[in-house]
Amino acid sequence: MERYFQELYGKFDTNLNYWIPKLRKNMLDLLMMPRRSHPYFTDYASRTQEELPLFLMDSHRTAAEHFKVIEELTTAVIVPYGKKGKEIIAKLSEDDSIEGLSRLLRTAQQYTVNLFPYERDQLARNGGVVSLLDGKSIGVNRERI
């Protein structure tokens, strides 16, 4: 079984290595570069004549920020449809526990529409959107309804 996957991934190696133009690096370099060949390790070792004391050198967060399986063309926006939709937007502005926030976001899915960039920009120009959760979510401005 192990040999099968080694051969399978060996055939698709060039297709699996996602190039990130902005960083001028391959995804696999961010995730799986051997410690001793990592640029941070070699630079530190050449300057200090010691090994870099970090145990992990992979850049999983950077990789996640730059990799999109499907390019997102739209932005999800919570709309104040009815009394419940308005309540959800109001509650998202309050401080709450992680559990409460997770429950609220699941409920908010029923009151969410996807907007293309030009639609979102037009709403923003007209003051029709409000940023929620420190900019991580967007809701329609309830004063504009």
83 and 129, same structural domain?
yes
50 and 107, same structural domain?
no
Return the pLDDT at 96: 67
Q: Domain count of the chain?
A: 2
Return the pLDDT at 48: 92
104 and 121, same structural domain?
yes
Alpha helices per DSSP H over the chain: 2-11, 13-16, 27-32, 39-48, 60-66, 82-92, 98-108, 117-125
Nearest alpha carbon to residue 77 among 130, 126, 6, 38 = 130
Which residue range is the domain that position 41 belongs to?
2-66
Q: Extract the residue ranges of the chain whose pLDDT is less than 50.
A: 142-145
Return the pLDDT at 142: 47
136 and 87, same structural domain?
yes
82 and 58, same structural domain?
no
Under DSSP, is residue 88 helix (H, G, I), strand (E, B) or coil?
A: helix
Q: Are 111 and 78 in contact (CB under 8 A)?
A: yes
140 and 79, same structural domain?
yes
83 and 56, same structural domain?
no
80 and 62, same structural domain?
no
83 and 51, same structural domain?
no
| Those residues with Cβ within 8 angstroms of residue 42's Cβ, 6 or more apart along the chain or in another chain | 36
Write out pLDDT tens, residues 94-105: 756 777 778 888
pTM of the complete model beyond 0.75? no
Return the pLDDT at 121: 84
79 and 140, same structural domain?
yes
Return the pLDDT at 5: 66
119 and 81, same structural domain?
yes
Boundary residue ending a domain (16, 46, 66)? 66
Return the pLDDT at 9: 64
Tokens describing residue 1: 């079984």
Boundary residue ending a domain (34, 66, 98)? 66
Estimate to the nearest angstrom the gap between the alpha carbon of 92 and the chain centroid.
20
35 and 53, same structural domain?
yes
Q: Are 116 and 74 in contact (CB under 8 A)?
A: yes
